[in-house]
């Protein structure tokens, strides 16, 4: 039995089928982010229908799992807060809207939470009882997975690892408008800013990573930026270990590609900040890559339905039938 999954981000929408932990029939389109929530959901529905056709009558889609940007109330399937990355995204009833479009029960959760759930069930966190995922890319997010479920928090916003204070960030302004948060020094975009402040020239993270391999001042500046960002992330992670004590820390996101010049300072930062009893907590790299949000969204659906998306209680069936398409 297949679960249809959608991963809706600010730049692209991906749809796929997930069956028994295997992701297939993946298709991707750009997100019409500036056209607003209706356009984004419309594009997602078209993409999902295309993927659905691949499932065929022998293996029908029984449920829809959606991973999306923003703070998501995953019990109601509603985006309760979001940046303006997608115009008008906050307030969108993603699960109901897409359930209405497809006639199958739908669930929705935050994309980093989905990513973490996928990694916990099928990647580096499997066989563990607790995991802290830290996703470091353009921004920094995270999630604490405990006993196989994401800790969503009282306001659905748990896991904002990028928005903890680290002294190394000084008074640098964070994307959230506050100062001194990890994201302002540890994220990919912060690293590019810092490198340019040192006179470096880099269009993206790959340029920065390449510069770090160079001899001479450009290489030294790049390595210094990677080391500071890595150490700052490690210090923040060490502090989180002191609160959460997970079995393993899993790192994902584009910055992970920077390798040892970033990762070694990160591990040193963890040891610097974590209590002695926690300083040897394994810090490993994610394993499921782009499959993670799909695996996580499917796992979330299975969590809610029992197994395979069938045998749903009345509630999700009502959700599917009670919506007004195009609302």
CB under 5 A: which stretch of 150-158, 172-180, 188-196, 221-229 binds Zn ion? 172-180
50 SS3 class: helix
Please identify the residue of the shown chain whose CB is closest to the bound Zn ion.
174
| β-pair type (130-136, 140-146) | antiparallel
Smallest separation, CB 108 to Zn ion (Å): 24
| β-pair type (61-68, 283-285) | unpaired
> Site for Zn ion (CB under 5 A): which residue of 163, 302, 304, 319?
163
Residue 140 interacting with Zn ion (CB under 5 A): no
Smallest separation, CB 177 to Zn ion (Å): 7
Smallest separation, CB 157 to Zn ion (Å): 12
Residue 157 interacting with Zn ion (CB under 5 A): no
| DSSP letter for each residue of 230-250 | HHHHHHHHHHHHHHH--SEEE
Report in angstroms the alpha-carbon separations of 14 from 50, 66, 237, 294. Answer: 11, 10, 30, 9
Smallest separation, CB 246 to Zn ion (Å): 22
State the binding string over 89-108 for Zn ion (x if CB under 5 A, else -): --------------------
Smallest separation, CB 138 to Zn ion (Å): 14
Kindly identify the residues of this chain, within the stretch 178-237, that bind Zn ion according to CB under 5 A: 178, 181
Query: Site for Zn ion (CB under 5 A): how many residues?
Result: 5
| DSSP character at residue 9 | -
CA angle 276, 286, 239 (to 5 degrees): 30
Residue 18 interacting with Zn ion (CB under 5 A): no
**To which residue do tokens 């890319």 refer?**
137
CB under 5 A: which stretch of 16-24, 31-39, 171-179, 287-295 binds Zn ion? 171-179
Please give the Cα distance from 26 to 52 (Å, whole number). 10
> Site for Zn ion (CB under 5 A): which residue of 176, 256, 268, 279?
176
**According to DSSP H, which parts of the chain are helical?**
37-55, 94-102, 111-122, 183-186, 188-197, 205-211, 216-244, 260-273, 292-305, 314-322
> Site for Zn ion (CB under 5 A): which residue of 8, 17, 48, 174?
174
Q: CB of 90 within 8 A of CB of 79?
A: yes
Smallest separation, CB 178 to Zn ion (Å): 5
CB under 5 A: which stretch of 168-176, 221-229, 243-251, 298-306 binds Zn ion? 168-176
Closer of 92 and 233 to Zn ion (Cβ): 233
Cβ count within 10 A of residue 129: 13
Q: 280 exposed, middle or buried (CB, 10 Å; 0-12, 13-18, 19+)?
A: exposed
Give contact residues for Zn ion (rule: CB under 5 A): 163, 174, 176, 178, 181
């Amino acid at each position: 039995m297949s679960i249809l999954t959608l991963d809706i981000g600010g730049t692209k929408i991906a749809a796929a089928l997930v069956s028994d932990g295997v992701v297939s029939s993946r298709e991707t389109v750009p997100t019409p982010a500036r056209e607003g929530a209706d356009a984004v959901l419309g594009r997602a529905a078209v993409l999902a229908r295309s993927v659905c056709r691949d499932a065929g009558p022998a293996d029908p889609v029984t449920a829809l799992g959606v991973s999306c940007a923003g703070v998501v109330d995953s019990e109601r399937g509603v985006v309760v807060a979001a940046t303006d990355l997608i115009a008008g995204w906050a307030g969108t009833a993603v699960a109901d809207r897409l359930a209405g479009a497809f006639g199958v029960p739908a669930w929705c959760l935050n994309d980093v939470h989905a990513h973490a759930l996928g990694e916990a069930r099928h990647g580096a966190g499997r066989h563990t009882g607790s995991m802290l995922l830290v996703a470091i890319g353009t921004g920094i997010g995270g999630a604490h997975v405990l006993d196989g479920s994401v800790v969503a928090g009282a306001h659905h916003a748990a896991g904002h690892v990028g928005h903890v204070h680290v002294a190394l960030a000084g008074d640098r302004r964070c994307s959230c408008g506050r100062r001194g948060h990890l994201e302002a020094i540890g994220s990919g975009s912060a690293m590019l800013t810092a490198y340019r402040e040192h006179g470096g020239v880099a269009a993206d993270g790959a340029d920065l990573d390449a510069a770090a391999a160079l001899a001479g001042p450009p290489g030294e500046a790049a390595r210094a930026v990677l080391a500071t960002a890595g150490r700052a992330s490690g210090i923040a992670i060490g502090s989180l270990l002191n609160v959460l004590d997970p079995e393993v820390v899993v790192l994902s996101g584009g910055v992970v590609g920077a390798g040892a010049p970033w990762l070694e300072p990160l591990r040193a930062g963890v040891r610097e900040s974590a209590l002695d009893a926690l300083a040897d907590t394994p810090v490993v790299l994610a394993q499921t890559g782009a499959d993670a949000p799909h695996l996580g969204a499917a796992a979330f659906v299975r969590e809610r339905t029992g197994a395979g998306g069938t045998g749903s209680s009345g509630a999700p069936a009502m959700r599917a039938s009670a919506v007004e398409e195009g609302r």
